[in-house]
Amino acid sequence: MYNKDFILVGSIVGLHGLKGYLKVKSFLEKPKDIFKFGEYFIDKLCFSSISLKFNKKSVFICELEGINSIEEAKKFVDKDIFISRLSLPKTDKDEIYLNDLISFNVELESGLCLGELVNFYDFGAGQIIGVKQGHTEMMLPFSDNFIINIDQDLKLITLSSNIKTLIN
């Protein structure tokens, strides 16, 4: 579900116990901020709360409003958690939400077009962007070491040519 009106904030990655608790992975810079919103959208359903029960390694064990059994909870495993964009604070002029960069063109400072930014990934070692050209998606690091410029008006991300060593 990609839509500029909704922001992906996490994912339900498993079950915990018999009461219908869920394992939630937060994608936010401050993971516990996932509990600060008033509405959550999961599998086209709206929930007014996700309650933290406790932490377990890199996931939160949570209770989803209205889900009281393992049978009900199973329906939500491997589902993404979204919030309304309107729930987020306004950005300053020089700020942008990562979600807003989806569909930007990505090129090297040499002018070589790499493709269109289609996704963000975080496997624990920092942000990775998925850049698609044709039917091929390549994954590239998205850090200050490689970002030369982000032009919001042109919808263009310019990366250092040093990144080319990672894509050959």
The per-residue pLDDT for range 25-39, each reduced to its tens digit, is: 998 888 999 999 999
Please give the average per-residue pLDDT across 48-58, as a whole number.
88
- Please check the confidence at residue 116 and state whether its pLDDT lies above 90: yes
Mean pLDDT within 152-168: 84
Q: Cα separation of 47 and 6, whole Å?
A: 14
Percent of the residues in the chain that have a pLDDT greater than 70, as a whole number: 95
Q: Give tens-digit pLDDT for 136-150.
A: 999 999 988 899 999
Structure tokens at 148: 């030369």
What's at 58, amino acid-wise? S
- Rounded to whole angstroms, the Cα distance separating 147 from 163 reads 10
CA–CA distance, 64 with 72 (Å, rounded to integer): 10
Q: CA–CA separation, 12 vs 80, rounded Å?
A: 6
65-106 pLDDT, tens digit each = 889 899 999 999 999 999 998 888 888 888 888 888 999 999
Average pLDDT, the chain: 89
The structural domains of the chain, with segments of one domain joined by +, span 6-87, 98-162
Answer for the pair 59, 48: CB distance below 8 angstroms, yes or no. no
Q: Which CATH architecture has domain 6-87?
A: Beta Barrel (2.40)
Residue 2 banded pLDDT, cuts 50, 70, 90: low
Report the first-to-last Cα separation within the chain, whole angstroms: 31
What architecture is the 98-162 domain classified under in CATH?
Roll (2.30)
1: pLDDT strictly greater than 60: no
pLDDT: which is higher, 109 or 164: 109
Instruction: Say what the pLDDT of residue 3 is.
Output: 67
